[in-house]
A and B are shown apart, each in its own frame.
Chain A
Amino acid sequence: DADVTQTPRNRITKTGKRIMLECSQTKGHDRMYWYRQDPGLGLRLIYYSFDVKDINKGEISDGYSVSRQAQAKFSLSLESAIPNQTALYFCATGGRGANVLTFGAGSRLTVL
């Protein structure tokens, strides 16, 4: 099994629908992140969490929310999806004292 697992891997939805992307990890890392990747823009940070009680907004948090249900689980929600949220979403984890991230395989979301 992968160290960082994202579900679903692919999702097509319609404008206005609520979507949840889930991430779970087996690395025992405290830090978890959600990024989105768009062509030509690189990865942009949506939200990050340093432990279960710590949630922080990243550079593009508008239209998104997150929940850190446990140390191993960090989910991203789009309350009312819009087409410009069509992107590849990555969850990542980082261990304490280290800046190296381990990424999940990505969730490709298409909003029609």
Chain B
Amino acid sequence: RKEVEQDPGPFNVPEGATVAFNCTYSNSASQSFFWYRQDCRKEPKLLMSVYSSGNEDGRFTAQLNRASQYISLLIRDSKLSDSATYLCVVNGYNDYKLSFGAGTTVTVRA
């Protein structure tokens, strides 16, 4: 079983729509959770950290469900510039090795 699993998509949505997707992780001891964004053929960049209480950054909302071992990302009012692959990233307690999901591709169309 992969440490981090994501629905690869693609999620094709019109501008202004809301899109949401999840990521599941296998290590129940994981303590840190992140969403990274990766544009085609570019390096991954941190989008946001995911906190236990959930957190919001503008149009982006991240949630953590420890009981079911998944995190989610919701994008409201999608923009064309949101088109990218979103990587779910997880690590273990006091472990600086991050495990990456294969990514969920989102395409926002005009």
Contacts and interface: CB of A to CB of B under 8 A. Distances in A.
Contacts of A48: 96-97
Interface string A54-83: 000010000000000000000000000000
Query: On chain A, which size bracket covers the interface?
Result: 20 to 34
Query: Looking at chain A's contact residues, is the secondary structure mostly helix, strand, loop, or mixed?
Result: strand
A31 B96 contact: yes
Given A42-B4, A43-B87, A58 B97 contact: yes
A99 B98 contact: yes
A48 B96 CA distance: 10
Interface in B12-43: 32, 34, 41-43
Nearest to A88: B41
A40 B34 contact: no
Interface of B: 4, 8, 32, 34, 41-46, 49, 87, 91, 96-98, 100-103
Interface of A: 31, 35, 40-45, 48, 50, 58, 88, 90, 94, 99-101, 103-106, 108
